[in-house]
């Protein structure tokens, strides 16, 4: 007759084996390697604006600033380049995540 201790050991080993297989399959230990794409996105070269190019219109309070048209164009170009960069990054992320636009 088979002893109780032997049956207990067999059942324990069986349960541990099933648990080990379940954990192994859930953790993703497979032979397929994860391929990460190489992404190369150039950062835009933004125009610099010095603080000395801004002038206060209303004296000491300095709630309003006055700028020249050249400084305005520089700031506008900076804003445009940043928006284009953000759109390029968004498209790249959508392509990698395979999300439709």
What digits encode the pLDDT tens for the residues 71-86? 899 999 999 999 999 9
Higher pLDDT, 73 or 40: 73
CB 41 within 8 A of CB 89: yes
Task: Identify whether 36 is part of a domain.
Answer: no
User: Is 37 part of a structural domain of the chain?
Assistant: no
Q: What is the pLDDT of residue 60?
A: 75
pTM above 0.95, yes or no: no
Tell me if 90 is assigned to some domain.
yes
Task: Name the helix (H) or strand (E) containing 54.
Answer: none
What does the alpha-carbon distance between residue 58 and residue 92 come to, in Å, rounded to a whole number? Answer: 45
Structural domain boundaries enclosing 16:
4-26+42-97
Yes or no: say if 42 and 85 are a contact pair by the CB < 8 Å rule: no
Residues contacting residue 90 through CB under 8 Å, at least 6 positions apart: none
Domain annotation covers residue 21: yes
Sign of CA pseudo-dihedral 49, 53, 56, 57 = negative
Report the first-to-last Cα separation within the chain, whole angstroms: 70
Which residue, 71, 76, 77, is CA-closest to 50? 71
In a domain, 72, yes or no: yes
């Amino acid at each position: 007759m088979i002893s109780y201790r032997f049956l207990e050991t067999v059942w324990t080993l069986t349960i541990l084996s099933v648990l080990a297989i379940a954990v192994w399959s859930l953790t993703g230990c497979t032979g397929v390697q994860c391929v990460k794409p190489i992404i190369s996105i150039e950062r835009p070269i933004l125009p610099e604006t010095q603080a000395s190019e801004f002038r206060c219109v209303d004296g000491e309070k300095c709630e309003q600033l006055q700028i020249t048209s050249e400084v305005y164009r520089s700031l506008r170009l900076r804003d445009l380049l940043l928006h284009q960069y953000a759109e390029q990054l968004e498209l790249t992320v959508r392509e990698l995540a395979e999300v439709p636009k």
